[in-house]
Amino acid sequence: MGSGAPAVDTKVTDTEGRDERRTSDIPRSHKALALCLAATAALTALDLWSKSWALETLSTERIGQAPPVCEADEQGYTTMQRGRGEPIVLAHDWLELRYAENCGAAFGLLRNASATLRHAVFGLAAVAASIALLVMFARGRGGPAFAAAVPFIVSGAIGNLVDRLRYGYVVDFIRVHWDREILWMREWPTFNVADITITIGVLLLLIDGWHEGRRQKKGEVAEPAARPSKS
């Protein structure tokens, strides 16, 4: 009778160990990596295509000499490189497609920083985050939510980085606005497809972290219960 308890304890411990290795230690298959890269390429292509469409449809060539790229004047305003065409209204007084040039990060962050600082921060951050996420994916880190998050975040980072290298700014064109002032705002900063995919990816990372926390709590509860009682 007394010799059965250690066997149960060993079985539970081994099962937990296998589950933990399955989710964090065992590298993902070549097929999973190929699917991740294919999804990243598809989302990047969608983002870049949508920005090219916005340039052709929602903006116009500027007549005369273009102003310096992303340099604010004495009043702190930045003049766009291209003219703004007629917006396309999708939902009256709420949602429209309107051309904008973003000198900052997602949703306009750091738009008034110097060009050198922007290129250094955004370029290094995009490359470092993309490499880190892809390496973690290949090594088998995280659960299904983490695996789904990687192509969303990496594609968004690549898409916006391509714009910065090509134009010096990011093309935005999705504008959400409203009539009443809410939290001192009447509109959300104009964004693009890359901003959407990055946001989806971050939400998936949060979900993965929540699931990981639950797994750890279950493991902490199961461990004392599986130990043999002292006689």
- Decide if 14 is catalytic: no
At 101, which helix (H) or strand (E)? strand 95-102
At 185, which helix (H) or strand (E)? strand 185-191
- Decide if 179 is catalytic: no
Q: List the structure tokens of 111.
A: 């738009």
- Annotated catalytic residue, options 47, 163, 172, 208: 172
How far apart are alpha carbons 156 and 126 in whole angstroms?
9
Q: DSSP characters for 21-44?
A: HHHHTSPPPHHHHHHHHHHHHHHH
Cβ pair 142, 208 in contact under 8 A: yes
- Annotated catalytic residue, options 47, 163, 195, 208: 195
Residues marked as catalytic: 172, 195
